[in-house]
């Protein structure tokens, strides 16, 4: 079992910045990949950024050059630094983690989501 707790969402004007955090806790052997997804009203959930334990990163084309994903393995925490925010970034942002449990099997976990609203 893994619990993901997100924080850092809020209201910001276009061009502003926010930093999202997601801390993982529970009984697990290790956390493999972590990522951020978002879902806007009336739209499907989409990948924003992804980072495996190796540290390599992937970003959606819409956020490349503006968002940065990072992780602190000692704290089991993943971050999403969001700069130059646009109104179209408005969505609920969800943290995702792929964890290896005591059985040595990988499982997928999701946070509760945090609202990001960008005004024009």
Q: Partners of 18 in the beta sheet?
A: 82
Question: pLDDT by residue (tens digit) across 58-102?
Answer: 999 999 999 999 999 999 999 999 999 999 999 999 999 999 888
Q: Rounded CA gap, 2 and 87, in Å?
A: 32
Q: Which two tokens stand for residue 66?
A: 């503006």
Question: pLDDT by residue (tens digit) across 38-57?
Answer: 999 999 999 999 999 888 99
Q: What is the pLDDT of residue 29?
A: 87
Q: Rounded CA gap, 59 and 62, in Å?
A: 8
Q: What is the pLDDT of residue 102?
A: 84
């Amino acid at each position: 079992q893994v619990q993901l707790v997100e924080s850092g969402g809020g209201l910001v004007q276009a061009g502003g910045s926010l930093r999202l955090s997601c801390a993982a806790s529970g009984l697990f052997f290790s956390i493999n990949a972590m990522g951020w997804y978002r879902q806007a009203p009336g739209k499907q959930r989409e990948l924003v950024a992804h980072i495996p334990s190796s540290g390599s990163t992937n970003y959606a084309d819409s956020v490349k050059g503006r968002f940065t994903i990072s992780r602190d393995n000692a704290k089991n925490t993943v971050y999403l630094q969001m700069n130059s925010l646009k109104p179209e970034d408005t969505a609920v942002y969800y943290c995702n983690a792929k964890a290896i449990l005591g059985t040595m099997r990988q499982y997928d976990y999701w946070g509760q989501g945090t609202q990001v609203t960008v005004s024009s």
